[in-house]
Amino acid sequence: MNPRYITIHSTQNYSAGAEKHSLALKRGALRAPKRPGGNRIGYLIWHFTVDQGLAIQHMPTSEQGEHADFDGPGNRYSIGIEMCEESGSNKQATVERTAKLTAILMKKHGIPLKNVVPHYHWPRRGTNMLHKNCPHFLMDGGKPGKKWRWFQGRVNYYYQRLE
Ligand SMILES: [Zn+2]
């Protein structure tokens, strides 16, 4: 893959941080039904998971993940980042770390801020929720609004400070 977008998600899993997600991926525990036009490999996989203290990379950014829109452009051209929501964790720290990682990846791959998108951005054909409410805590009424624009501002803040 030659990444042109960065897709931001949240796990909606309240019992695991980045390390547990990493181990689950490594064990092959995150299965998804493989079907034509749907999941292509039978597993979920994405590039990075971020929590309050860590950012873990699971796969090279030169390979396509299965995190966004099946065989659509979200999977074909984007780096997938999952934010953890473990109960008791510091969500603010997780979001700031995610914004920093996103800025570094923009710089590294020449990706503009307008191509940093929420999972919501990518239509998921063949599902009953065409535009997923993800990352749900950065959406307003299920779609990008004020909170998403705030997050874009945080990404830009870190991007402007990179050498
Ligand atoms: Zn998502």
CA dist 84 → 4, 54, 106, 114 (Å): 24, 10, 21, 23
11 C-alpha to center of ligand 1: Å?
7
For residue 160, the CA-to-ligand 1 centroid distance in Å is 26
8 strand-pairing partners: 81, 118
Q: Which CATH superfamily is domain 5-160 in?
A: Peptidoglycan recognition protein-like (3.40.80.10)
Distance 162 CA to ligand 1 centre (A): 27
Q: What is the pTM of this model?
A: 0.97
37-42 average pLDDT score: 93
Domain ranges in the chain? 5-160
List pLDDT tens digits, range 99-144. Answer: 999 999 999 999 999 999 999 999 998 888 899 999 999 999 999 9
User: What separation in Å is there between the alpha carbon of 158 and the centre of ligand 1?
Assistant: 23
- Measured in angstroms, how far is the CA atom of residue 157 from the centroid of ligand 1? 24
Residue with tokens 């995610």: 98
- How much is the mean pLDDT over the chain? 97
The alpha carbon of 106 and the centre of ligand 1 are apart by a number of angstroms equal to 19
CA dihedral over 130, 36, 46, 114, signed as positive or negative: negative
Write down the pLDDT at residue 160: 98
Q: Please give the distance, rounded to the nearest whole angstrom, from the Cα atom of residue 163 to the centre of ligand 1.
A: 30
Q: Reduce the DSSP state of residue 117 to 3 states and report it.
A: strand
Residue 83 CA to ligand 1 center (angstroms) comes to 9
Distance (angstroms) between ligand 1 centre and the Cα of 118 equals 8
Q: What is the pLDDT of residue 127?
A: 87
C-alpha 108 – ligand 1 centre gap (Å)? 23
